[in-house]
Chain A
Amino acid sequence: MEQFLQAAIIGISLGAQYSLLALGFTLIFGILGVVNFSLGWVFELFLLERLVDDHLATLMLTLGLYLIMSTGMLTIFGPLSMEFTFPVTGALRMGPIYVARENLIVLAICLAMIGVLWVLLFRTDLGRGLRALADDRAVARAQGLSPKLLFPMAFAIATGLAGLTGALVTPILSLSPAVGDPVLATSFLTVILGGLGSLEGAAIAAFIVGIVEAFSSVYFGGSVGALILFVLVLLLLVFRPTGLLGRTVRGA
């Protein structure tokens, strides 16, 4: 029972971390239809805007930028991690069960960010404008909405979320040039599972991924745990190709 509770706590903590990153991905995909691996806004302003309708080109461009950025970090700062601790440390304990204080803070910020994003997208003019561009760019333009103004706004929010996640999560784990690589893969998996472009889907999927990862690793070990997660996602996509809450954008 202790192990079960501990796995659940760890799963929720992991879910919070994944959801913050996945929300950024979702925002970009939902608004622009760009699968963005780099979250580098300067590049996006000048290059992506020209290629925004070519999905393959944007995928390659953002992947390329990501590689340039991570190698640049390695060249400038070297391969070693930095000592970088969370300002709040320690854990709350109830017998053998513990909850890391920093994970509670990440969870609180994550829930707040989900709320803020939802309000932004569904209760403000900016959000309505962004969703209109996502639904039908030509009609939205005809109504006077400016992609030149709104796209950078979407990127700014997404990159801000990525930065926030990095600042929150790296002190819990480690601050080194390659620390984001595996998390990036898991976040992308989360977005696909939730349904590309669905904010609610990404948030729900992030917690599912976190909980599945925690329980499978605790009960079956680190190797089988990783396998179970990917098999589950694979099966779900076989039976529900649009993901949990995604919608069919176009027919085959």
Chain B
Amino acid sequence: MKLRLLAALVCALPTASYAQNCEMKLGAMGPMSGGAAQWGLAMNSAAELAAAEVNAQGGVKLNGKMCKVVVVPYDSKYTADGAAAGSNALAAQDIHLIIGPVGSPEATGIKPVAARNGQVAWNAAYAKNSLEPKYPLMFHIAPGPGVWADAVIKRAMKEFPMKSVALIAPNDQGGTDIASVDAEAYKANGIKTTEEYYQRGTTNFAPIVTRILASNPDVVDTASSPPGDAGVIIKQLRLAGFKGAVGRLGGPGTDEILRVAGGIDVVKNFYWFETVATADPKVREIDDEYKKLLGKDPVGGTAVWADLPAARMTLKAVSIAGTDDAKAVAAELRKLPVDDPNMGKGYWTGKKQFGIAQELSFPFGIGIIKDGKNLGVERQDARPD
């Protein structure tokens, strides 16, 4: 009898200890070093905030227990092999849910590996194949230019009449997939376009600026060039005497662009797409909440706001499913309504473009700087597919 009691106690010990230390690991992936570090660190900040929110309420419900969420970041370096290696590294830590990666090369790299590892991943890439029906565990944080480029161009044309535009972007999938879709949208509005691609890692754009200006465009669009690159391009365009407007139908990063270019007076005339309606006070509250819960400022600028709903919804789906198994979480995610406390109401989109409705579509913004004056970011409501 004593022996049985002892055995029962020994068996109970690890369970009790597990209940006390129960935790669920959530992956956060993206470039966390190099020129696009801002976007990867934003993924991490968004995952950290969503985890802190849930932990403040006692954690996620996992196998009947309340478990603390711990974020495990991975620097996928904006490369396909980095993201594929990241998926494996996180799988080795028994992580089934990943907020990230960011860029198109990373999305390409992670898709087959995460499918094999049984992981849900949320990519933020603007690639033409960000989602594919054959990868049902892949989700998309926000729509690409096919959805919003036309609205931004039409708004920009009211401020900056244009007949020709030169698009400039890196020569990998992270550049060409976006710039080519942007070019189609400009052409659909009767604007003549040229596309110019550069090797990622270029630091001095003076030769490319000379080449672009030879075609005398009305507008130069920096598309999905990393914000640091776009800032240097604008600085060198102005130095070369370019007086036209500069557009940006690509990833967010206006503050960084203004800093690198040398200020708003240098940039002067600029229009850009914002993934979220950044002027909305509800959206801006996210930074205050981050500071309150985590005691520091988030890293990654406005991209943190765009990435947050995906992290929040994932943790909500875990509690509903009662497990962090990727298939079960994905099934619950698909049923969740798209309605974020800060971002407002949105839609599940993607069916039309990718054949699978696993893309979050929230209200976005269009920013305008005219004659060196920031006119602000106008809110555009999300539309269903």
Binary A-proximity of B183-206 (CB < 8 A = 1, otherwise 0): 000000000000011110111101
Say yes or no: B241 contacts A174, CB within 8 Å: no
Q: Would you call A47 an interface residue if the criterion is a C-beta within 8 Å of the partner chain's C-beta atoms?
A: no
Say yes or no: A222 contacts B202, CB within 8 Å: yes
Binary B-proximity of A199-221 (CB < 8 A = 1, otherwise 0): 00000000000000111011101
Partner among A13, A79, A83, A98 whose Cβ is within 8 Å of the Cβ of B41: A79
Binary A-proximity of B224-243 (CB < 8 A = 1, otherwise 0): 00001001100000011100
Say yes or no: A218 contacts B199, CB within 8 Å: no
Among the 9-residue stretches A118-126, A133-141, A156-164, A178-186, the one with 4 or more Cβ atoms under 8 Å from chain B is: A178-186
Q: Which residues of A contact B260 (CB under 8 A)?
A: 81, 83, 174, 176
Say yes or no: A98 contacts B207, CB within 8 Å: no
With A74-B37, A181-B34 already in contact, the answer to whether A98 and B239 are too (CB < 8 A) is: yes
A185 CA to B204 CA in the complex, in Å? 14
Q: Would you call A146 an interface residue if the criterion is a C-beta within 8 Å of the partner chain's C-beta atoms?
A: no
Say yes or no: A177 contacts B240, CB within 8 Å: no
Say yes or no: B210 contacts A218, CB within 8 Å: yes
The closest CB in chain B to the CB of A178 belongs to: B34
A90 CA to B301 CA in the complex, in Å? 30
Say yes or no: B228 contacts A223, CB within 8 Å: no
State the Cβ distance, B349 to closest chain A Cβ, in Å.
Answer: 30
The closest CB in chain A to the CB of B42 belongs to: A79
Q: Which residues of B contact A178 (CB under 8 A)?
A: 33-35, 37
The closest CB in chain A to the CB of B205 belongs to: A222
Say yes or no: B33 contacts A98, CB within 8 Å: no
Say yes or no: A83 contacts B210, CB within 8 Å: no
Q: Would you call B299 an interface residue if the criterion is a C-beta within 8 Å of the partner chain's C-beta atoms?
A: yes
Binary A-proximity of B257-289 (CB < 8 A = 1, otherwise 0): 001101100000000000000000000000000
A74 CA to B40 CA in the complex, in Å? 13
Partner among A172, A217, A219, A222 whose Cβ is within 8 Å of the Cβ of B171: A222
Interface residues in B205-256 (C-beta closer than 8 Å to A): 206-208, 210-211, 214, 228, 231-232, 239-241, 255-256
Say yes or no: B259 contacts A6, CB within 8 Å: no
Partner among B171, B197, B206, B300 whose Cβ is within 8 Å of the Cβ of A10: B206
Q: Would you call B38 an interface residue if the criterion is a C-beta within 8 Å of the partner chain's C-beta atoms?
A: yes
Say yes or no: A83 contacts B197, CB within 8 Å: no
Say yes or no: B228 contacts A71, CB within 8 Å: no
Interface, chain A (partner B; CB < 8 A):
3, 6-7, 10, 13-14, 17, 70-71, 74, 78-83, 85, 89-91, 93, 96, 98, 100, 172-174, 176-179, 181-183, 185, 213-215, 217-219, 221-223, 225-226
A17-B204, A182-B201 are known; give 18 further A-B pairs, CB within 8 A.
Answer: A3-B210, A3-B214, A10-B210, A81-B260, A85-B262, A89-B262, A91-B240, A98-B240, A172-B204, A174-B260, A178-B33, A178-B37, A182-B203, A217-B207, A219-B211, A221-B211, A222-B171, A223-B171
Q: List 12 A-B contacts (CB under 8 A).
A: A13-B206, A79-B37, A79-B300, A80-B256, A83-B260, A91-B239, A93-B241, A98-B240, A176-B228, A222-B196, A223-B171, A223-B198
Question: Which 9 pairs between the two chains have the least Cβ-Cβ distance?
Answer: A222-B198, A79-B37, A217-B207, A182-B201, A226-B199, A174-B260, A223-B171, A83-B259, A10-B206
